[in-house]
Amino acid sequence: MTTEMSSMERVMTALDFKEPDRVPLFLLFSMYGAKELGLGIKKYFSDPDNVVKAQIYMKEKYRNDCYYASTYVAVEVEACGGEVIFSENGPPNAGRPIIKHSQDILSFDPPKVKQTKCLLNTLEIIQKLKNHSDSVPIIGTVVSPFSLPVMQMGFDKYLDLMYDDRQLFADLMSKNEAFCVEWANAQLAAGATAIVYFDPVSSPSIIPREMYLKTGFEVARRTIPRINGATATHFASGNSLPIIDDIVKTGTAAIGVSSMEDIGEIKQKCHGKLSIIGNLNGIEMCHWSIEDTQAAVKNIITKGAKGGGLVISDNHGEIPFQVKEETLHAIADAVKKWGHY
């Protein structure tokens, strides 16, 4: 009988393309902790201790294999002085763009991590989770320098910049890269095990590969090697199959993959080069029956588990607020039932 591993041992074994005692499970809870504690989402995120308490509780309750130190994606815009819009049952979103005209890039200064309260809150969360346990991976997050401008200036203006003004585009990338590296390394220094590098704009679902190779790919090749720890590039539900060979060249260790792509085909292209994180459909998960849940988990394990290199997770990087507890328990049950090698 295989000896039961700690979450850290299980995850590290899988990421080393070896077979642990069972497939690791990452339920990436951010705002879901507010639901567990019975708090409003804004109040929940106002105190780092709320997040720490919920992460520890949810790890045990749902047999999760990580702590997710991320609060909300818009925190990086908030750090720049931007507005965050909170809702009752969904993720906080960025408000009005902080870069209103492309020429504003010239005077834009990225935040200093150690002088920014909302970022310091995340570092406090990481430190306290690290103090609580060394045997559970702590996942930090950054938005890639290439995808962050969608929140900084709006999608339409950013696409115009990307295609029409390469000098200002380069200036913005340089500033965002410096911030991304500082922010990622601060999280690692605080105790994060690895960094999820969210880069949805690089997905072929958003831009063609030819443009990616000139933009997001080059940004990632400059940025990821400067991060002092392992990274997982995540496309937040976007496709990745057409650019997997390119992603390998950025130096990232893993990818978050879409539920719209076949996990077996992805595994075939990635094995020995990139570990896979995914690819449960978080939106459909809100309506799954127990049978639907079991079938989805079993399919991923059957097609992607052999030889290690697989972590089961949702495909967007966040468990929706509307997912039922029964579904989350069913995911963990299915991993326990079918996840042994």
88-142: per-residue pLDDT in tens? Answer: 888 999 999 999 999 999 999 999 999 999 999 999 999 999 999 999 999 999 9
Is 49 inside any structural domain? yes
Is 96 inside any structural domain? yes
CA–CA separation, 27 vs 328, rounded Å?
8
Burial class (CB in 10 A: 0-12, 13-18, 19+), 208: exposed
Note down the domain range covering 299: 7-338
Average pLDDT over every residue of 228-253: 97
CA–CA separation, 178 vs 209, rounded Å?
25
286, 1 Cβ separation under 8 angstroms: no
For residue 338, the one-letter residue type is W
Is 1 inside any structural domain? no
Q: Average model confidence (pLDDT) for the chain?
A: 96
310-314, strands of its sheet edge to edge? 25-26, 310-314, 275-280, 254-256, 230-234, 194-198, 138-143, 67-68
Q: Positive or negative CA dihedral for 262, 265, 268, 270?
A: negative
Query: Among 237, 177, 161, which residue's Cα sits nearest to residue 204?
Result: 237
Beta 254-256 vs 84-85: how paired, if at all?
Answer: unpaired
Q: How would you label 246-265 residue by residue, b for 16+ Cβ within 10 Å and e otherwise?
A: bbeebbbbbbbbbbebebee
In what helix (H) or strand (E) does residue 159 lie, and over which residues does it extend? helix 155-164
CA 250 to chain centre: 17
Is 12 inside any structural domain? yes
Q: What contacts 83, CB < 8 A, 6 or more positions away?
A: 77, 94, 95, 96
Is 2 inside any structural domain? no
Instruction: Please report the pLDDT score of residue 280 as a whole number.
Output: 96
Confidence bin at 2 (pLDDT 50/70/90): low
Give 267-315 pLDDT, tens digit per residue.
999 999 999 998 999 999 999 999 999 999 999 999 999 999 999 999 9
Give the up-direction half-sphere exposure of residue 256: CA atoms within 13 A in the CB hemisphere: 29
Angle, helices 166-190 vs 216-223, to 10°: value is 40
**CA angle at residue 156 from 154 to 157, to 5 degrees?**
70
Is 293 inside any structural domain? yes
The number of domains in the chain is 1
Is 229 inside any structural domain? yes
Instruction: Please report the pLDDT score of residue 276 as a whole number.
Output: 97
Give the up-direction half-sphere exposure of residue 59: CA atoms within 13 A in the CB hemisphere: 23
246, 217 Cβ separation under 8 angstroms: yes
Instruction: Please report the pLDDT score of residue 278 as a whole number.
Output: 87
Confidence bin at 67 (pLDDT 50/70/90): very high
Average pLDDT over every residue of 38-52: 96
Q: What contacts 312, CB < 8 A, 6 or more positions away?
A: 23, 24, 25, 26, 278, 280, 297, 300, 301, 331, 335, 339
Confidence bin at 235 (pLDDT 50/70/90): very high
Residue 94 belongs to a domain with what CATH number? 3.20.20.210
235, 203 Cβ separation under 8 angstroms: yes
Is 216 inside any structural domain? yes
